[in-house]
Structure 1
Amino acid sequence: MYVNVHPVTTVRVGTQTAEIDQLLAPVIEATWRNGIQTLTSCQDAGESNADWVPKLPHMADYVTTRKGWAFIDFGVDQGLAFLDAVARAGVRDAFYVRMVHWAAPDAWRINVKPYDSAMFDETTPSNFQLRLMQIMFPQYDIAEIVRRLSNHAAGQLTAPARTDWTTVGR
């Protein structure tokens, strides 16, 4: 049985209800209010994986580099919808650049993970599919994500405009 290392709060939107890490609860609530489905989430990937290090020492770097980083897992299409909603409801500033450019300071880590159905049924041949998108961001972006998702849900979108690329030297 999994025991959450972070304090949780109950999030309810319509018929959806889940226990969510307290720091991420506003993000998940705003995400659901936009009709975007989530799979799992964690407010601090480093803290939640720290107990792996004694058993799997190679995880030490992962734990160290993910401290202070939150993540949300989505189906691929829902992850793209999340990114669209966050990007469309705010200016193309340093926050936006963290979302979209790998070389930005504290750039978001966005991974699409293929899964092999044979992992779940070893009697079947391998069959890879793209099923999971993990979006990881620094905890200090949580308030801005909530603000943008709330604006998106209210139909308050920002018109496309020039991007401020100064954080990546462009």
Structure 2
Amino acid sequence: MTNVHPTVTVRVGDRSAEIDELIAPLISALWRTGFTTLTSCQDAGESNASWAEKLPHMITYVESRKGWAFVDFPIQDGLRFLTALAQAGPRDAFYVRTTHWAAPQAWQVTVKPMDLAMFDETMPSSFALRLLQVCFPATDLPEIENRLNRWSAGELVPPAPTDWASVGR
């Protein structure tokens, strides 16, 4: 599959990959701090636009994903990523977007069950949980990178009350 976004080569240790240029700094920071990523995209709407041409029912999905980036992780790394972001900043509107489904611009975090037979059709179906997808507004990239850098430097924020104003609590 051809990438629709400009890419740059990200190298960290023995890892190297062509990554969408807008999300490359995040992937580099994730790898430097020991996270494993599976796939990523700087704009899911743009990268899936061709699906809408072939499958009209995908139009709504494509429109809803414009301006939204994602990173796919093995489940435990994805949970550790969310924990790192929460521990490295205040429990503000950004935090609420990562945790509450009703927040404006709420992140979509999904565990994707996969049938292992998709990879070997001679096998009987057997579902497993393998992937945690974190989908977020691309406008959150600077704060994600900021918090990830603070977390990796050990600059954690003590627990405090959450500002729930964005969801009316």
TM tier, shorter chain? over 0.9
SS at match of 2:28: helix
For residue 12 of structure 1, report the CA deviation from its aligned partner.
1.6
Residue 118 of structure 1 corresponds to 117
For residue 3 of structure 1, report the CA deviation from its aligned partner.
0.7
Alpha-carbon displacement from aligned partner over 1:49-82 (angstroms, at most 9, x marks no partner): 0011111111100110000000000110111111
Residue 84 of structure 2 corresponds to 85
Separation of aligned partners in 1, 2:80 and 2:32? 13
Separation of aligned partners in 2, 1:56 and 1:81? 35
Residue 53 of structure 1 corresponds to 52
| AA matched with 1:21 | D
Please give the residue correspondences for 1:65-80 in structure 2 after superposition, counting only pairs within 5 Å. Answer: 65-80=64-79
Separation of aligned partners in 2, 1:155 and 1:27? 18
For residue 121 of structure 1, report the CA deviation from its aligned partner.
2.1
Q: Is the 8 A contact 1:34 1:152 kept in 2?
A: no
Residue 146 of structure 1 corresponds to 145
Structure 2 stretches of 5 or more lacking a match? none
Residue 162 of structure 2 corresponds to 163
- Relative to the length of structure 1, the TM-score reads 0.97
Alpha-carbon displacement from aligned partner over 1:98-123 (angstroms, at most 9, x marks no partner): 00000000000111000111222222
Separation of aligned partners in 2, 1:10 and 1:79? 22
| AA matched with 1:101 | H
Residue 23 of structure 1 corresponds to 22
Separation of aligned partners in 2, 1:95 and 1:47? 24
Separation of aligned partners in 1, 2:109 and 2:63? 18
SS at match of 1:114: strand
Q: Is the 8 A contact 1:42 1:70 kept in 2?
A: yes
Separation of aligned partners in 1, 2:59 and 2:9? 31
| AA matched with 1:37 | T
SS at match of 1:72: strand
Separation of aligned partners in 2, 1:144 and 1:5? 25
Alpha-carbon displacement from aligned partner over 1:23-51 (angstroms, at most 9, x marks no partner): 10111111112211100000000000001
| AA matched with 2:41 | C
| AA matched with 1:57 | P
Separation of aligned partners in 1, 2:14 and 2:116? 30
Separation of aligned partners in 2, 1:8 and 1:119? 28
Residue 35 of structure 2 corresponds to 36
SS at match of 2:158: coil
SS at match of 1:167: helix
Aligned residues: CA RMSD? 0.8
- Relative to the length of structure 2, the TM-score reads 0.97
Structure 1 stretches of 5 or more lacking a match? none
Q: Is the 8 A contact 1:50 1:63 kept in 2?
A: yes
